[in-house]
Amino acid sequence: MKFSQSMIRKTGYWTRHGAKLWSGRLEAQRLRSTLENIRGMKYTQLHTERLTPLGFPLWSMWVQAEVSSGQWRDRVQRMAEQLEAAATE
């Protein structure tokens, strides 16, 4: 049985699935636009004394790949305590 466009619209199939396709296209356009904007930005690398809020999770994942789970937990806990102490100074 073939479905006509009017049958598809009456069932709401087009509304549900067509909207998803349209939404996906809009998201792809937004992503493309954002990447173009980023490409034009100036890159600056800063060296900090301590880990930053973004750097801590990245460091944690790197350490996790290098050591056992027990050692990882200890290192992350120590670093978190050090960062908290430094933040209150």
pLDDT tens-digit readout, 18-70: 556 556 677 888 889 999 999 999 988 889 889 988 899 999 999 999 999 89
What is the model's pTM? 0.49
Range of the domain at 17: 5-39
Given pLDDT bands bounded at 50, 70 and 90, which one contains residue 1? very low
DSSP 12: T
Residues 6+ apart with CB under 8 A from 67: 75
48 occurs within a structural domain: no
70 occurs within a structural domain: yes
Q: Which residue has the tokens 């670093």?
A: 79
Q: Indicate the number of domains in the chain.
A: 2
